[in-house]
């Protein structure tokens, strides 16, 4: 299977060069410099609406779609997604404050994460409680109850359960529903969920709203949601026996994308040890988001019918499926280093060590922007500028002939690239949005002054004192 730029909705100019949002990729690199993150605005908003509408159409009850801000918390990107009718799902104090400053009321926000700390204070004390607080374990349940008792506010809670279900072939690091390999949620193997329900049934400080369950990231089969949901409704039946109504079921997100994927455990080990590059995903074999929605809706409807329960509000929290394919990372080739009997290194100005950490464990296609459809008849190892050997884009990657000064495009860079950037001595890149042939700057490139702005107690050679 060979991926083509059309799989992302991109096009080519008359000379065959890559176009994104009506803008020439090479021109963007020239104007704004590289590394450069590019957001296809229409691609982003189209994906957001499609996910939202798919679940609304498939599910006979009420649905609400939240945006998992951890995937991309660039303010302008979040704003574009919220403008499509999605609400914020936050997991850090920064994301809470950003959602609030973008005009979102606390009641519209879901709070998540395994170690919320000060985020719990924000979620229970700022004007009004958060719309829903996903409680991750017994200690957090007690801490939240204490905060609500102190503030005099009652919090609406979802219990996050760990279903101990791992989709076939999933990398263990991605299996958020694994009891053995994932920290998240109440343990279904030791009675924690039943104990928490009993506490909630007696609590005057916390209002039980329902359950949260996230089975993994980059899920590529809709059936992988079935067994976790069956377990959720086993507990919904138990809650009903205690007089607790399950009004909300939050399945998280985790929907994979057709053009990128995480490596499974065997692929990861073979790639790290032997440089054996995994095969690209096949978009033709990937389910549509409508297929995910249909499976989830049918499962919930069936499980409620079996147990005589009312249909809950269905909550989803997509991140990757909205922003991944709308993002492109542009890099400039600085030098080629052939070595007899070894191969040829292509040295660029960005890779896993600075601007593209997901390349370490995911498959992302790379194109030559001046000729994205050219035959891939050369073998290269693509690396970045950092002085450590694992700063690569790809080892043993087939590409067209590459020359110094060429611009490469790494696809599916919209999710988890910017949030995992590292300086490593280099400034973090600019971000631009493109639409209808126009580009606008969303984030300027970091400067030296930005990089030392938090450092105090030193004097530079210009005689300026950097003090607190």
**Chunked in runs of 10, what are the mean pLDDT values of the chain (468 residues)?**
92 97 98 98 98 98 98 98 98 97 96 94 82 96 93 92 85 78 89 96 95 92 96 97 98 95 88 88 94 98 97 98 98 96 96 95 96 97 93 94 98 97 94 98 96 90 65
Say what the pLDDT of residue 171 is.
73
Q: Are residues 167 and 239 in the same domain?
A: yes
CATH number at residue 125: 3.20.20.10
Q: What's the token pair of residue 61?
A: 């009850």
**CATH code at 339?**
2.40.37.10
Shared domain check, 34 and 129 = no
Say how far apart CA 92 and CA 171 lie, in whole Å: 25
Is 329 part of a structural domain of the chain?
yes
User: What is the torsional sign of CA 339, 342, 346, 351?
Assistant: negative
What DSSP element (H or E) covers 290?
helix 289-307
Q: Which of 259, 292, 316 is the last residue of a domain?
A: 316
Last residue of a domain, one of 284, 316, 348: 316
What was the pLDDT predicted at 359? 94
The residue out of 316, 345, 367 marking a domain boundary is 316
**pLDDT given at position 128:** 67
> Containing domain of residue 237, as a range?
113-316
Query: What is the DSSP annotation of 308-373?
Result: TPPPPEEEE--SHHHHGGGEEEEEEEEEEEEETTTEEEEEES--TTTT-GGGGTEE--EEETT-TT
Predicted pLDDT at 460: 86
Tokens 């499976």 belong to which residue?
Answer: 295
Q: What is the pLDDT of residue 129?
A: 76
Residues 254 and 379 in one domain: no
- 64 lies in some domain: no
Same domain, 13 and 161: no
* Same structural domain, 262 and 340: no
Q: Say whether both 312 and 436 belong to one domain.
A: no
342 and 284 within one domain: no
Does 87 fall in a domain?
no
> How crowded is residue 218: how many other Cβ atoms within 10 Å of its Cβ?
22
Contact, 74 vs 323, CB < 8 A?
A: no
Is 47 a domain residue?
no
Residue 13 lies in a domain: yes
Number of domains in the chain: 2
Q: Are residues 338 and 277 in the same domain?
A: no
Let me know: does 294 contact 58? Beta carbons within 8 Å. yes
Smallest Cα–Cα separation from 164: which of 175, 156, 155?
175
Residue spans of beta strands (DSSP E) within 6-154 = 11-12, 18-20, 23-24, 36-40, 63-68, 87-90, 110-111, 132-135
What's residue 466's pLDDT? 64
Residues 389 and 371 in one domain: yes
The answer to the question of residue 96 being in a domain is no
Q: Are residues 359 and 446 in the same domain?
A: yes
Domain membership of residue 221 (yes or no) is yes
Q: Are residues 257 and 130 in the same domain?
A: yes
Query: How far apart are alpha carbons 304 and 306 in whole angstroms?
Result: 5
> Would residue 466 count as lying in a domain?
no
What pLDDT, on the 0 to 100 scale, is given for residue 272?
85
Residues 118 and 204 in one domain: yes
């Amino acid at each position: 299977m060979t991926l083509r730029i059309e799989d992302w909705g991109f096009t080519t100019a008359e000379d065959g060069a890559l176009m994104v949002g009506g803008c020439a990729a090479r021109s963007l690199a020239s104007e704004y410099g590289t590394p450069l993150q590019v957001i296809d605005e229409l691609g982003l908003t189209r994906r957001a609406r499609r996910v939202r509408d798919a679940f609304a159409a498939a599910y006979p009850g009420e649905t609400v779609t939240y945006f998992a801000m951890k995937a991309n918390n660039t303010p302008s990107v979040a704003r574009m997604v919220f403008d499509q009718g999605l609400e914020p799902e936050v997991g850090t104090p920064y994301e809470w404050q950003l959602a609030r400053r973008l005009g979102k009321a606390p009641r519209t926000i879901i709070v998540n994460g395994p170690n919320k700390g000060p985020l719990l204070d924000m979620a229970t004390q700022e004007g009004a409680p958060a719309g829903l607080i996903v409680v991750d374990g017994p200690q957090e349940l007690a801490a939240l109850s204490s905060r609500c008792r102190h503030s005099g506010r009652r919090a609406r809670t979802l219990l996050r359960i760990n279903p101990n279900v791992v989709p076939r072939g999933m990398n263990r690091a991605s299996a958020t529903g694994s009891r053995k390999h994932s920290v998240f949620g109440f343990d279904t193997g030791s009675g924690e969920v039943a104990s928490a329900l009993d506490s909630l049934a007696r609590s005057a400080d916390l209002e039980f709203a329902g359950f949260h369950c996230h089975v993994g990231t980059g899920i590529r089969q809709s059936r992988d949601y079935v067994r976790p949901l069956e377990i959720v409704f086993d507990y919904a039946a138990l809650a009903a026996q205690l007089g607790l109504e399950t009004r909300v079921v939050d399945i998280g997100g985790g929907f994979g994308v057709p053009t990128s994927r995480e490596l499974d455990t065997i692929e990861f080990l073979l790639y790290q040890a032997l440089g054996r590059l995994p095969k690209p995903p096949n978009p033709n074999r990937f389910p549509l988001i409508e297929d995910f929605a249909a499976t989830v809706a049918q499962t919930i409807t069936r499980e409620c019918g079996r147990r005589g329960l009312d249909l809950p509000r269905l909550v989803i929290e997509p991140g990757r499926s909205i922003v991944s394919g709308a993002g492109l990372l542009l890099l400039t080739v600085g030098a080629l280093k052939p070595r007899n009997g070894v191969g040829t290194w292509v040295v660029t100005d960005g890779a896993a060590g600075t601007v593209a950490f997901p390349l370490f464990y995911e498959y992302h296609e790379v194109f030559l922007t001046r000729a994205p459809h050219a035959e891939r008849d050369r073998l290269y190892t693509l690396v970045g500028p950092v002085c450590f050997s694992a700063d690569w884009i790809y080892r043993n990657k087939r590409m067209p002939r590459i020359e110094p000064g060429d611009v490469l495009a790494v696809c599916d860079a919209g999710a988890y690239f910017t949030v995992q950037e590292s300086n490593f001595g280099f400034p973090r890149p600019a971000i631009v949005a493109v639409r209808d042939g126009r580009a606008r700057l969303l984030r300027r490139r970091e400067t030296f002054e930005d990089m030392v702005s938090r450092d105090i107690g030193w004097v530079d050679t210009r005689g300026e004192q950097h003090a607190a």
